[in-house]
Every structure is written in structure tokens, then in C-alpha cells.
Amino acid sequence: MATRTKPAAPPARGYRDLHDHIAALDAAGLLRTIREPVNKDTELHPLVRWQFRGGIPERDRKAFLFTHVVDSTGRRFAMPVVVGALATNPDIYAIGMNAPVAEIGRVWTRAMAAPIAPRVVDRAPCQEVVIEGAALDGEGNGLDALPVPISTPGFDAAPFLTATCCISRDPETGVQNMGTYRCQLKAPRRLGLKMFLSIRAGGYVHWKKYKAMGRPMPMAIVVGAPPAVAYLGPQKLPEDIDELNVAGGIAGAPIHVVRARTVDLLVPAEAEIVIEGHVDTEFLEPEGPFGESHGHINLEEYNFVVDVTAITHRRDAVFTSIISQVTPSESSVIKRVAYEPRFLNHLRDQLGIKGVRRVSMHEPLTNLRRVMVVQFDHGVPRAEVWRALYGAASYDSVCGKYLIGVSEDIDPDNPDAVFWSMAYRADPGLDSQLLAHRPPGHGPRSERGGGEESALLIDATLKHASAPVALPTRPYMENAKALWERLGLPALKPESPWHGYSLGDWSDKWEADAARAAASGYLETGRRAHQRRRSDAGPNIYVERDDD
Ligand SMILES: Cc1cc2nc3c(=O)[nH]c(=O)nc-3n(C[C@H](O)[C@H](O)[C@H](O)COP(=O)(O)O)c2cc1C
């Protein structure tokens, strides 16, 4: 039976819902609205994919709103689909957080330190339309009425929900968990569900408890939520923390929740769509293949099954999909902007390591977790560098296969600069350590099997004074940039390092020689060199400092 309740008067709330957020993106010029028919099964994700594989700079990526969605049979869906609205780039994420990009880390820290419990309301926009019972059955009904796109046409076995917040409750403690897990459409009221054992999915911990009790696990799958809630789905929090509390901390106000209709769970009142049901604890079914965020297809596996008992949604619901698979993607941006400050916090505040400046997770193709760079102040004691590398390698069991420490003059986001630092500031024999027994984490199934990998830690920081970086010093480069621009040459995008600087091994004499040369006075330097000629010196021997 499908029921339409009266439109719920939205209770006053202290945060944006998805509709406000989409309007804010539009106002900021970060939304493309596509009104022409687009096929959700063949065209929709591939179109948005070009934004990540077509050489478009991160800052120019936008969210896509599709208002005329069809499938390969020509069926038109009433609900619009939005892709990339949560985290196509950090600017979009920042609008969702209601904070400038530079403040995102601080907002996460504050939210974790001071969570705000949700407020239970009894009428909610997410239950304006309720579909349950027989109304869920039959082609074109239930899940089959939703405009769920195929993420990787050519490989995926079905449309998958990707922008989920899957809510379950620990049957022992009563604490709810919320995680983003993919769900495969299988029938109008049956979903496949993948909860990764390798990344300790919180829902799986609950599932094992329900299985031991011989009961199916109630689950509510939120698709589309206020951004403050949606950003918690992919966050790895300790198991005893209810993500909706931290979402309140992000919003700075309690998140409104309402009781689900057919399962004993609290769901965000301003969600777009909520799919309620039970996860079978007796049978598993083949699920996949599906393109994964490690950049490979996750082949068919036995996985969980959800029997749907109700679908509720707003009257004006927008269907949200996250673009994932090969990175960069929306899925990697949504993790990066929150994971990096969390790691930094851990090293700086929990482990008390002084002189750690940044943690950077390498994103293109590698998907963040495998390659991490930690940046330090110059002069940090070596033991502190190693404490930080060990700390970053053990903070999250699935992050940190290659960890590299660099100094403050190296841009940790620039792999060229990191390789440069490894090339000249690290001796593999002296400055690296192998850590055994690391969980392999999220990746394509390894031919080697065995269930463990190792981690390689490299201290590529500057350990002693070194000769300067061989580029013209800053004033010359800045002056030349002004000249470049006056000449109307093509726009520049300075790449670090774009000017030379001292790394400690430099003398006043050389500074004076260089200044004299720049003032076209090199003949004087030549005269002084002539006065210092020696018959006992060998070639390529450094001139001593006190030789001036
Ligand atoms: C777009 C996207 C899709 C994801 N899909 C899955 C998935 O299918 N299964 C899974 O276990 N984790 C998936 N993750 C990672 C989890 O969301 C992440 O590990 C999170 O911490 C899960 O919450 P939990 O710690 O409460 O389990 C996905 C993340 C994103 C951003």
C-alpha cells in the first residue's frame, strides 16, 4: 500500500538539507543542470566520469543534476538524479560543511570532540510518501521505481546504490552505526549488500551478533541526506560512537531523526529516501561484479541480502549517486578532506608529536590509503619523524602501505617533489624500515593471498644542511613573473618549487658573489678568484669556507 501523508511541516533545523545544499551549489556556480534525456544505465555516470578523466582541474569540477532520466527501455523516471553534489571537489564539500575549505579539519576535530545527540521528531519530510506491503511488488515498483544509475557500464551486473548511509543497531549496546555500503538492485524488494570485512564495516560487526541470535538484522538505508549526515557515512569512527551524534557536531545543532516505519531504527528526518528492511543472517547470495574505489572491478562474491519492508521518501526527493571507482573520484574526495586532518590530529594531538605539519594521502589511481606523505618542520628530531611514521602506519589498520616523511619545503601533494626528496634526502639502506603483518586492506584480490602485507616507511626529510635549490631566488622569479604578465604570455600556474632557497649550506661570500653577478659585476669576482689561485689544490675539491 502506498500512502501519501500530509506534507510534513519541517521542524526548524540548524543545518542544510540536500535541497538547500543543491541551491547553494547552484548559487556558487558549482552545479550543472542537464535537462535533456540521459540514460541512467549507459550514459549518466560515464558522462560525469569525463570530469575526472578529461584533464579538467579539480577546482573546475561541478555537481551534475539530471532532470530527465530514462533507462534503456525508454522508461522515464520522475525523480531527478544528482551526482557529485557531496564532494566532487573540496569547494563543494566545504559548502556541505558550511565552512571554508581551510576550516574543514577544524570542524571535524570539533565535531568528534563535542558530538551533539540527535533530536527525535514525530513528523518528517522523509516519510511524506510511504510505500509498503504489496505496493513494493512488481516491475516498475519498489526499488525498481528508483532512478538508480549503473556506475561502470560494461562491467557492473546491475544498478547499485552508492550514496547510502546504512543504519543498523548493535543488539547488545543499542548504539546505532551508519556506514556507506554499496547495494545492488536485484528485485523490487530485494537488495544485495556489500559490507567489507577488510575495512571492518561496522554493520558487519552487528550482523554477526544478529546471526548468533538467529535473527535477521534490521537496517535502514538512507539515500540522500543533509550533507552533515552524508559526510559521516564514509567515516571510520570507533564502533561505540553513533555517527549521527558526530553529524550533529558537524552541523552545530541536533540532527532531527524519526522512527523508521517498519524497523526499530532512527533515521534522519530530512533524508530524501529511506529503504527499510532486514538483512538475512542465514543466506548469502552472489553479488557484483561492481567497479570499486581501488580502481579495479570487484568480482562476483557471496554477500548479504536485504529484504525490503518499506520505502519512504520526500515528495520532491532527489536521488543521489556518488561517482567512485578509479580515483580521483567523488568517493576519494569525500574521504580525503576528512581523513587527512584526522591523521594529522592523531599524530599531533593524540601522540603529541611536535613539528608535524601535514598528512597527505595520494589520491590519483592509488586511492588514498596506500601511499601517505607526512610533512615535518625542518629540524624535527629523527626519533620524532619515526614516531610519526609508525603512528600513521598503525592509526587505521587499512591505511599506510608506503609512508614517506618529507620536510617543510617539499609539497606533500606533489609526487614529483616527494620523489625528489626520496632521491636526494633518503638512503634506502639507512632511512627505511619494513613493517610486517599489515592487513592488506581495500584492494583487488591478491594472487599471493596469505591475508597480510608489509609496509615500507621512508624518512626522506632533510637531515643535514644542504646546498640551495638551484632556481633563481624569489625576488628574481617574482620580478620575471611580472615581466611575463606584462608581455601577455600564457597564464602561469606556479609549481613548487618555483624559486631557489637556501637549505643551510651557503655562505655570506657566495651570497655576495651572486649579488655582484646580478649587478653585472662578475669581473670583480674573477679578479678575487685569481688572487686565491693555488698550485696544491686538486680538481673538484670544495673550497673551504674560511678561505674567503
Ligand atoms: C562511495 C563509497 C562507497 C563505499 N562502499 C562501501 C561498501 O560497499 N562496503 C563497505 O564496507 N564500505 C564501503 N565504503 C567505505 C565505508 O563507507 C567506510 O569504511 C566507512 O567507515 C564505513 O562505516 P563503518 O566504519 O561504520 O562501517 C564506501 C565508501 C564510499 C565513499
319 lines ligand 1 (CB under 6 A): no
Tell me the per-residue pLDDT of 271-305, one tens digit each, with 9 for 90 and over.
Answer: 999 999 999 999 999 999 999 999 999 999 999 99
Could you tell me the distance, in angstroms and rounded to a whole number, from the CA of residue 238 to the centre of ligand 1?
14
Nearest CA to ligand 1 atom 5: 181
Nearest CA to ligand 1 atom 2: 331
145, β-bridge pairs? none
327 lines ligand 1 (CB under 6 A): no
Residue of 59, 287, 82 lying closest to 184 (CA atoms): 287
Could you tell me the distance, in angstroms and rounded to a whole number, from the CA of residue 225 to the centre of ligand 1?
16
> Ligand 1, from 199, 279, 323: best to mutate by most atoms within 8 Å of Cβ?
199
Phi-psi region of 449 (alpha: psi -120 to 50; beta: other; left: phi over 0): left
261 lines ligand 1 (CB under 6 A): no
Is domain 2-321 classified as CATH 2.30.110.10?
yes
160 lines ligand 1 (CB under 6 A): no
Going across the sheet that includes 63-66, the strands are 31-34, 63-66, 81-83, 319-321
Query: Do the strands 129-132 and 371-376 form a parallel or antiparallel pair, or are they unpaired?
Result: unpaired
Please give the C-alpha separations between residue 343 and each of 144, 178, 359, 418, in angstroms, as whole numbers: 41, 21, 7, 19
196 lines ligand 1 (CB under 6 A): yes
Q: What is the pTM of this model?
A: 0.92
Grid cell 571537489 is found at 89
Could you tell me the distance, in angstroms and rounded to a whole number, from the CA of residue 80 to the centre of ligand 1?
24
275 near 265, Cβ under 8 Å? no
Q: How far is 244 from 269, CA to CA, in rounded Å?
A: 12
Residue 146 amino acid letter: L
CB atoms within 10 A of CB 496: 12
pLDDT of 270 reads 98
- What is the maximal distance between C-alpha atoms in the chain? 102
Could you tell me the distance, in angstroms and rounded to a whole number, from the CA of residue 201 to the centre of ligand 1?
7
pLDDT in tens for each of the 548 residues of the chain? 455 555 555 568 989 999 999 999 999 999 999 999 999 999 999 999 999 999 999 999 999 999 999 999 999 999 999 999 999 999 999 999 999 999 998 899 899 999 999 999 999 999 999 999 999 999 999 999 999 999 999 999 999 999 999 999 999 999 999 999 999 999 999 999 999 988 889 999 999 999 999 999 999 999 999 999 999 999 988 888 999 999 999 999 999 999 999 999 999 999 999 999 999 999 999 999 999 999 999 999 999 999 999 999 999 999 999 999 999 999 999 999 999 998 999 999 999 999 999 999 999 999 999 999 999 999 999 999 999 999 999 999 889 999 999 999 999 999 999 999 999 999 999 999 999 998 888 888 776 766 889 999 999 999 999 999 999 999 999 999 999 999 999 999 999 999 999 999 999 999 999 999 999 999 999 999 999 999 999 999 999 876 44
Q: Where are the domains of the chain?
A: 2-321, 351-459, 474-547
Q: Which atom of ligand 1 sits closest to the CA of residue 243?
A: 26
Residue of 548, 540, 459, 461 lying closest to 503 (CA atoms): 461
Cis peptide before 328 (omega within 30 of 0): yes
Could you tell me the distance, in angstroms and rounded to a whole number, from the CA of residue 399 to the centre of ligand 1?
14
89 lines ligand 1 (CB under 6 A): no
pLDDT of 20 reads 98
Could you tell me the distance, in angstroms and rounded to a whole number, from the CA of residue 235 to the centre of ligand 1?
8
Tell me the per-residue pLDDT of 64-107, one tens digit each, with 9 for 90 and over.
Answer: 999 999 999 999 999 999 999 999 999 999 999 999 999 998 89
Could you tell me the distance, in angstroms and rounded to a whole number, from the CA of residue 4 to the centre of ligand 1?
32
Grid cell 540548524 is found at 14
Could you tell me the distance, in angstroms and rounded to a whole number, from the CA of residue 330 to the centre of ligand 1?
13
CB atoms within 10 A of CB 386: 16
Cβ neighbors of 344 (< 8 A, separation 6 or more) are: 105, 356, 358, 359
pLDDT of 364 reads 96
Q: How far is 186 from 471, CA to CA, in rounded Å?
A: 60
pLDDT of 8 reads 54
If you compute the radius of gyration of the chain from its CA atoms, what whole number of angstroms results? 28
Strand (E) or helix (H) holding 33? strand 31-34
Please give the C-alpha separations between residue 103 and each of 95, 100, 413, in angstroms, as whole numbers: 11, 5, 18
Report residue 26 CA to chain centroid gap. 22
Could you tell me the distance, in angstroms and rounded to a whole number, from the CA of residue 408 to the centre of ligand 1?
33
Alpha helix (H) residue ranges in 236-395: 243-251, 330-345, 382-395
**Mind spelling out the 3-state secondary structure of 39-51?**
ECCCCHHHHHHHH
In the chain, the N- to C-terminal Cα span, in Å, equals 94
320 lines ligand 1 (CB under 6 A): no
Is the fold of 2-321 the same as that of 351-459? no
180 lines ligand 1 (CB under 6 A): yes
Nearest CA to ligand 1 atom 1: 331
Could you tell me the distance, in angstroms and rounded to a whole number, from the CA of residue 179 to the centre of ligand 1?
6
Residue of 180, 202, 222 lying closest to 330 (CA atoms): 180
For domain 351-459, give the fold. Answer: UbiD C-terminal domain-like (3.40.1670)
DSSP-derived secondary structure letter, 535: S
Q: Which atom of ligand 1 sits closest to the CA of residue 179?
A: 23
322 lines ligand 1 (CB under 6 A): yes
Q: How far is 40 from 151, CA to CA, in rounded Å?
A: 9
> Ligand 1, from 181, 183, 195, 332: best to mutate by most atoms within 8 Å of Cβ?
181
291 lines ligand 1 (CB under 6 A): no
**Mind spelling out the 3-state secondary structure of 329-363?**
CHHHHHHHHHHHHHHHHHHHHHCCCCCEEEEEECC
182 lines ligand 1 (CB under 6 A): yes
Q: How far is 79 from 446, CA to CA, in rounded Å?
A: 40
235 lines ligand 1 (CB under 6 A): yes
277 lines ligand 1 (CB under 6 A): no
234 near 214, Cβ under 8 Å? no
